[in-house]
Amino acid sequence: MRLFSRNSSSLEHDVTVVFRRVFTWLAVFPATWFVVFFLWPTIHALTSLTSWSAISDTLSSQTTWNVLWFTTWQAVLSVAATFVVAMPITWILARFVFRGSRWVRGIVSTPFVLPTVVVAGAVMSLLPLRYQFGVHGIIIAHVLFNVAVVVRIVGARWQTISPNSTSAAAVLGASPLQVFWHVTIPQLRGAMYNAGLIVFVFTFTSFGVVAVLGGITRRTLEVEIYTNAINLGFFDTAMVLAVVQLLAVLLVFAITSTVSRRQTSDGGTTFHRIPLHDHPRHRLRISVVAIATPAFIALPFAMLFIKSFRAGDTWTLNAWRNLWNGSLDRVGLDIPSVMWRCLIFAGTTVLIAVPMAYIVASLSVYMRRGSAVLRTITSLPIIISAVTLGFGIIVTFNESPYDWRGQTWLIPIVHALVALPLVVYLLTPAIQAVSPTQRDAARTLGASPLRVWWHIDARLMRTPVLSAGALSFSVSLGEFGATTFLSRSSSTTLPIAINQLLGRPGTSLQASGFALAALLALTTAVVMSRA
């Protein structure tokens, strides 16, 4: 393979040309993996539906419309509730520095990286028994999970709004509320649409939270797809529902992106946050929000730990002991084996996801055109839910010699697909940040393109790659949607075990579920703190 052509554009750095060629060749691996295990199964699942009677039966069923209606209104309510909780703390974290602000940011961001069943378990531990299953818990869990999305996206935009812009409105006679409504909100609108869209998609396609907290009466489309495919064996109905869900998500994307394009783009400058003691007028309000919001978010997780040590009115270690002493064998759960298996799955996921994402991210940085298309394609696992993917796999790989449905090796491959867009998103800016001038300097000092990559890129990418590893490890530990379709009793994962324990009658089993959820929360938080 010829690595460097003298006919290449003289404006481009020669190493860039070489890297583009190398990563274009290497892209065969992620492309094959993505096509075989993602595009083929999902397209197959969404297009193999040929039974018109199944379509008309499903669409004329009142149950379908009830589920669609619930899915929609709980998502809308979740978005609204998330913004109500998140906007004050977003303002504070974007505008002020105060003692403990890093802790506050850490606490409000943590639930987003935790497995959905852990967040659901935490909410369940907080609620009284009669409210444990139902819409209250679902909305609270969605808010806990998604506050970080608003803080991250809207907060970043808020930091680019000049404080003088709001001061200008104040000296023109606008009250603080008028300043917020007429000056701040219009500038935040684009970021708010984007954050709202992401929260809507997450909550519209919510599976883990609703599977744990929905009980038998509250089902989203995701849960309904699972129920029809796995519990009832109505594959045609599940396919129709998967198509309905995808169309709904695409419709929301289309509407929101049209509205979002009309908004002004982000300003480039990020303004420094000001020390709180320079702003005494807001001190009380800020203190209340800065304490109340993290307390609201941390409380369910504190309760999760407390409940794992409670049996009736007494404190006990029984729930934790039961995880190790084999007493959960009676419900078919050998927790040490499950843990060991999950670690192997997570490690394998890292080994697949990080190199594949590195190749994709590099290609998107170095390619001359088409990088936006590449990014869109690799983002598909966010738009097409994990449940649809899992469902696609079991209806696609169901005939010899491709009857892979029960194969354990399929699980980390699918986990890596779910992690792919997140890892690409993490690695791309890091690759972009490597200075071409540094590579040029290495070239002028006699380094070959391979040595440039090794001595410049590889060294600078060490930390982002470790972060990417931690992220994909965590995604694998917490993945629930696709895994429910793929796991068998011999390949149960921690989230599935937690769901089984929390869903069974008996406070002893539930306490073990809380203990296992607490353990998974701690493990994920520690791993993600490395990211």
Cβ atoms of 480 and 117 closer than 8 Å: yes
Kindly tell me which residue out of 116, 146, 187, 510 binds other proteins, with binding defined by CB under 8 A.
Answer: 187
Q: Does 476 bind other proteins (CB under 8 A)?
A: no
Q: Does 174 bind other proteins (CB under 8 A)?
A: yes
Q: Does 312 bind other proteins (CB under 8 A)?
A: no
Minimum distance between the CB of residue 476 and other proteins, rounded to whole angstroms? 43
Q: How would you classify the pairing of strands 310-311 and 274-275?
A: unpaired
Kindly tell me which residue out of 62, 164, 231, 489 binds other proteins, with binding defined by CB under 8 A.
Answer: 164
Query: Quick one: tokens of 204?
Result: 């519209």
Single out the segment in contact with other proteins by CB under 8 A; choices: 10-18, 163-171, 204-212, 439-447. 163-171
Minimum distance between the CB of residue 260 and other proteins, rounded to whole angstroms? 14
Cβ atoms of 467 and 424 closer than 8 Å: no
Minimum distance between the CB of residue 291 and other proteins, rounded to whole angstroms? 22
d(CA 285, CA 276): 11
Minimum distance between the CB of residue 95 and other proteins, rounded to whole angstroms? 14
Nearer to other proteins, 32 or 167 (CB): 167
Q: Does 162 bind other proteins (CB under 8 A)?
A: yes
Cβ atoms of 434 and 457 closer than 8 Å: yes
Burial of 416 (0-12, 13-18, 19+ CB in 10 A): buried
Nearer to other proteins, 17 or 179 (CB): 179
d(CA 505, CA 512): 12
Q: 355 Cβ partners below 8 Å, 6+ apart? A: 29
Q: Does 278 bind other proteins (CB under 8 A)?
A: yes
Query: Quick one: tokens of 116?
Result: 């959905």
Kindly tell me which residue out of 100, 106, 275, 406 binds other proteins, with binding defined by CB under 8 A.
Answer: 275
Q: Does 287 bind other proteins (CB under 8 A)?
A: no
Q: Does 186 bind other proteins (CB under 8 A)?
A: yes
CA dist list (Å): 36 to 382, 393, 399, 524: 17, 10, 15, 29
d(CA 102, CA 96): 11
Helix (H) or strand (E) holding 310: strand 310-311
Minimum distance between the CB of residue 187 and other proteins, rounded to whole angstroms? 6
The 230-269 site mask, x for binding other proteins (CB under 8 A), equals ----------------------------------x--x--
Q: Does 101 bind other proteins (CB under 8 A)?
A: no
What secondary structure, in 3-state letters, does 127-166 show? CCHHHCCCHHHHHHHHHHHHHHHHHHHHHHHHCCCCHHHH
- Residues at the site binding other proteins, with contacts judged by CB under 8 A: 162, 164-165, 167-175, 178, 182-183, 186-187, 189, 264, 267, 275, 277-281
